[in-house]
């Protein structure tokens, strides 16, 4: 690249030593006759060398030269009477040298080549400095990125990936620290263990995505309504722990009750799913229960929480409230019994989940809508009838078993696009026996087995397998049969589209007193109207209710 040289002299003489010498250079030469031109050209170009003749050269170094490149060099031509100065570096880093009159071509050319060489070296130095600075900037960026990554990894190591709460690993650290702090300061420490009721059932019926949204929303409600200084953790699955420093047993009970109400008063909603959720809470405090270590602290809270579930769920229980402590010691027999019971419950849940996964792998989830609707109707009927919540789990397990086994056994038959013929019906009527045979391998499905064995019975005695009639049919089986049939009416089937609301009303009216318990049908009509589950005409609904009520009256008079 051609270098640029600026010659600053009052009068330019082409025959001068300076003019002749610079003409021999492989450079682009610019001329200036005064300071203004020097300024103008220096702002427009980047010069490697500036040569200033004796007329413009300052004797007191006060020539106002605009900022040049840090690699620029300056050669001042000075009178012979002036003592030559030692080369120096200017204020902006420019290299400055001097040459006196009279000029000789060889000496001038030597000075120029030296200064141009210095210019090249300075350029390389500046380039190296820029590279070093650039590398320093990159190193700083990498260091910041590394620190951010380490911070993120540290966060991941102590946070639950789904809810963002502290995880069990962090619980062990914080709990040990808080116990030590409470004992050192002679203050109390409370631990709340919360478990979402029937969470496994929600996952089975509504799917894991909705279950995850419940966990997220549940965690958000806990953190939003916890006090400053409290610590929230996800303990695992649907279990959560809250540590409350400087909190007595009375204060812990009040806070736990507040959290319980916050969770159950407002449904959890995601997409088209909506479900009311309750929570069982166990409480332990350092002073009231005196745990020996952090493991016993958690075990006591777990026992109290399980006692809350055994008492009906959706409640708060402090450890020892129901004789969980005897003579200041943990009742090891009760602990062992509860532990074994919980193991069996987990085994039962695992069996249900495995069966469900097997069916989903075969049918690709074709029965999900039917099962979800049936579960919803069962829940609404049980709530309206005031049945205990413990029966809901049996219903949910029975529904999963029924839906999955029915499809696994008869998937080709259920996929037919024609109505069932006599032989098809006969084959389907054997389902209760097959369900009972399959579930007899699992003793913990005894309640579900009794329900499934009778779900095909009709209220008028025309059903199967035993031809039971009226009140002889178990109530649970009557509820299950009606909810399953209503879900079938409101779902697409291979041989037909879902029924219209009017057709559903007609089917319920026709089946009341024959296939289904008319009192349950009447209750279902009330639920459909109150919950607006179907776009029903109010007059048609009222007329159907009237006709079903008349059937109930007629049935009662015949019985008498």
Task: Tell me the pLDDT tens digit for each residue of 262-291.
Answer: 988 889 998 878 888 999 999 999 999 999
Q: Which residue has the higher pLDDT, 373 or 292?
A: 292
Element (H, E) at 223: helix 208-224
Supply the DSSP symbol for 444: G
- Domain end residue (candidates: 498, 520, 545): 498
11 pLDDT higher than 90: no
Average pLDDT over residues 151-175: 84
Residue keyed to tokens 């060398």 = 49
Residue keyed to tokens 């420093």 = 245
Residue 283 located in a structural domain? yes
Residue 411 located in a structural domain? yes
Residue 381 located in a structural domain? yes
Give how far Cα 227 sits from Cα of 92, 165, 242, Å.
61, 15, 10
CATH number at residue 176: 3.30.70.270
84 and 220 fall within a common domain = no
Which of 286-300, 323-337, 419-433 has the least mean pLDDT? 323-337
Give how far Cα 247 sits from Cα of 181, 224, 317, 479, Å.
13, 18, 16, 46
- Domain end residue (candidates: 75, 110, 128): 128
Does the bond joining 191 to the residue before it have cis omega, within 30 degrees of 0? no
Band (324; pLDDT cuts 50, 70, 90): very low
Nearest Cα to Cα of residue 398 among 365, 371, 376, 425: 371
Residue 144 located in a structural domain? no
What are the tens digits of pLDDT across the range 102-120?
889 999 999 999 999 988 8
pLDDT value of residue 330: 45
pLDDT value of residue 332: 47
Encode 539-552 in three state secondary structure: HHHHHHHHHHHHHH
Q: How many CB atoms lie within 10 A of CB 29?
A: 13
Give the range of the structural domain holding residue 406, as residue numbers without chain letter: 348-498
Q: Is residue 391 within 8 Å of 383, Cβ to Cβ?
A: no
Q: How many domains does the chain have?
A: 3
Nearest Cα to Cα of residue 285 among 311, 253, 314, 330: 253
244 and 373 fall within a common domain = no
354 and 385 fall within a common domain = yes
Residue 336 located in a structural domain? no
323 and 397 fall within a common domain = no
296 and 402 fall within a common domain = no
Residue 421's Cβ-count burial label (10 Å; 0-12, 13-18, 19+) is: exposed
**Maximum alpha-carbon separation in the chain:** 145
239 pLDDT higher than 90: yes
322 and 173 fall within a common domain = yes
The 3-state DSSP composition of the chain as helix, strand, coil percent (nearest 5) reads 55, 15, 30
- Domain end residue (candidates: 441, 473, 498): 498
Is residue 469 helix, strand or coil? coil
Average pLDDT over residues 189-210: 86
Q: Report d(CA 402, CA 405) in Å as an integer.
A: 6
176 and 325 fall within a common domain = yes
Which of 157-166, 317-326, 430-439 has the least mean pLDDT? 430-439
Which of 62-71, 282-291, 299-308 has the least mean pLDDT? 62-71
Which of 129-143, 338-352, 519-533 has the least mean pLDDT? 338-352
pLDDT value of residue 90: 65
Band (298; pLDDT cuts 50, 70, 90): very high
Residue 365's Cβ-count burial label (10 Å; 0-12, 13-18, 19+) is: exposed
CATH number at residue 383: 1.10.3210.10
422 and 323 fall within a common domain = no
Nearest Cα to Cα of residue 236 among 182, 286, 171: 171
Residue 200 located in a structural domain? yes
- Reading the block at residue 539, the tokens are 């007059």
260 pLDDT higher than 80: yes
Band (409; pLDDT cuts 50, 70, 90): low
DSSP string of 124-155? Answer: HHHHHHHHHHHHHHHHHHHHHHHHHHHHHHHH
What are the tens digits of pLDDT across the range 468-506?
888 888 888 888 888 888 888 888 766 578 889 899 999
Q: How many CB atoms lie within 10 A of CB 290?
A: 13
**End-to-end CA distance of the chain, in Å?**
117
What lies within 8 Å, CB to CB, of 170 at 6+ separation is: 158, 159, 233
Q: Report d(CA 470, CA 459) in Å as an integer.
A: 5
312 and 364 fall within a common domain = no
pLDDT value of residue 414: 56
63 and 172 fall within a common domain = no
Give how far Cα 447 sits from Cα of 204, 237, 392, 436, 517, Å.
19, 26, 12, 11, 21
Which of 20-34, 338-352, 400-414 has the least mean pLDDT? 338-352
pLDDT value of residue 198: 85
Name the E strands within 258-336. Answer: 268-270, 273-275, 279-285, 316-318, 325-326, 329-330
Q: Is residue 524 within 8 Å of 382, Cβ to Cβ?
A: no
Whole-number average pLDDT of the chain: 80
Helix ranges (DSSP H) in 364-464: 368-385, 390-414, 422-428, 431-439, 446-454
pLDDT value of residue 430: 63
63 pLDDT higher than 60: no
Q: Is residue 126 within 8 Å of 70, Cβ to Cβ?
A: yes
Q: Which residue has the higher pLDDT, 320 or 177?
A: 177
Name the E strands within 231-278. Answer: 231-236, 239-245, 268-270, 273-275
Rg of the Cα atoms in the chain: 45
CA 389 to chain centre: 29
248 and 378 fall within a common domain = no
What are the tens digits of pLDDT across the range 71-105?
888 888 888 877 777 777 765 667 888 888 888 99
Average pLDDT over residues 314-336: 61
What are the tens digits of pLDDT across the range 209-231?
888 999 999 999 999 999 899 99
CATH number at residue 38: 3.40.50.2300
Residue 531 located in a structural domain? no
Give how far Cα 146 sits from Cα of 116, 131, 134, 135, 354, Å.
44, 22, 18, 16, 43
pLDDT value of residue 114: 92
Is residue 99 helix, strand or coil? strand
193 pLDDT higher than 90: yes
Q: Which residue has the higher pLDDT, 464 or 268?
A: 268
Band (323; pLDDT cuts 50, 70, 90): very low
What are the tens digits of pLDDT across the range 346-387?
555 555 555 555 545 445 444 566 777 888 888 888 888 877
176 pLDDT higher than 50: yes
361 and 214 fall within a common domain = no
Residue 483 located in a structural domain? yes
């Amino acid at each position: 690249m051609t270098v640029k040289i600026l010659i600053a002299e009052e009068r330019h003489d082409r025959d001068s030593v300076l003019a002749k010498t610079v003409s021999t250079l492989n450079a682009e030469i610019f001329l200036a006759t005064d300071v203004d031109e020097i300024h103008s050209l220096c702002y427009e170009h980047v010069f490697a060398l500036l040569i200033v003749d004796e007329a413009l050269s300052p004797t007191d170094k006060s020539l106002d030269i605009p900022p040049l490149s840090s690699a620029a060099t300056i050669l001042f031509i000075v009178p012979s009477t002036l003592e030559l100065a030692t080369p120096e570096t200017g204020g902006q880093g420019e290299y400055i040298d001097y040459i006196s009159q009279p000029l000789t071509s060889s000496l001038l050319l030597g000075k120029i080549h030296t200064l141009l060489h210095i210019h090249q070296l300075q350029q390389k130095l500046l380039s190296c400095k820029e590279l070093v600075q650039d590398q320093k900037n990159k190193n700083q960026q990498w260091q910041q990125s590394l620190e951010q990554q380490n911070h993120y990894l540290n966060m991941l190591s102590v946070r639950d990936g789904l809810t963002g709460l502290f995880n069990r690993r962090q619980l062990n650290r914080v709990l040990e620290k808080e116990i030590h702090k409470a004992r050192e300061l002679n203050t109390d420490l409370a631990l709340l263990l919360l478990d979402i009721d029937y969470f496994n059932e929600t996952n089975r019926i509504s799917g894991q995505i909705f279950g995850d949204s419940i966990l997220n929303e549940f965690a958000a409600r806990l953190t939003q309504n916890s006090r400053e200084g409290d610590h929230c953790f996800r303990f695992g699955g649907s279990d959560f722990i809250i540590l409350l420093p400087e909190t007595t047993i009375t204060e812990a009970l009040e806070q736990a009750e507040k959290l319980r109400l916050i969770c159950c008063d407002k449904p959890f909603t995601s997409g088209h799913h909506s479900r009311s959720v309750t929570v069982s809470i166990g409480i332990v405090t350092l002073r009231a229960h005196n745990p020996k270590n952090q493991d016993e602290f958690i075990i006591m809270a777990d026992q109290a929480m399980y006692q809350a579930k055994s008492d009906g769920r959706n409640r708060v229980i402090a450890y020892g409230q129901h004789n969980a402590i005897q003579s200041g010691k943990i009742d090891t027999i009760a602990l062992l019994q509860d532990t074994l019971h919980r193991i069996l419950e987990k085994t039962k849940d695992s069996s249900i989940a495995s069966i469900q996964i097997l069916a989903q792998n075969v049918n690709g989830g074709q029965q999900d809508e039917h099962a979800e609707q049936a579960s919803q109707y069962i829940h609404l009927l049980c709530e309206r009838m005031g049945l205990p919540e413990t029966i809901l789990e049996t219903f949910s397990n029975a529904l999963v078993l029924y839906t999955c086994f029915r499809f696994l056994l008869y998937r080709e038959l259920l996929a037919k696009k024609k109505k069932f013929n006599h032989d098809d019906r006969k084959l389907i009527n054997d389902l209760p026996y097959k369900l009972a045979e399959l579930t007899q391998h699992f003793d913990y499905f005894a309640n579900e087995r009794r329900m499934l064995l009778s779900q095909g019975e009709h209220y008028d005695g025309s059903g199967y397998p035993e031809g039971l009639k009226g009140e002889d049919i178990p109530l649970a089986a009557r509820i299950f049969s009606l909810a399953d049939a209503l879900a079938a009416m409101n779902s697409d089937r291979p041989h037909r589209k879902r029924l219209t609301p009017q057709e559903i009303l007609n089917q319920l009216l026709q089946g009341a007193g024959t296939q289904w318990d008319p009192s349950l049908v009447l209750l279902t009509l009330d639920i459909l109207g109150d919950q607006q589950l179907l776009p029903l005409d109010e007059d048609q609904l009222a007329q159907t209710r009237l006709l079903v009520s008349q059937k109930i009256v007629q049935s009662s008079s015949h019985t008498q």
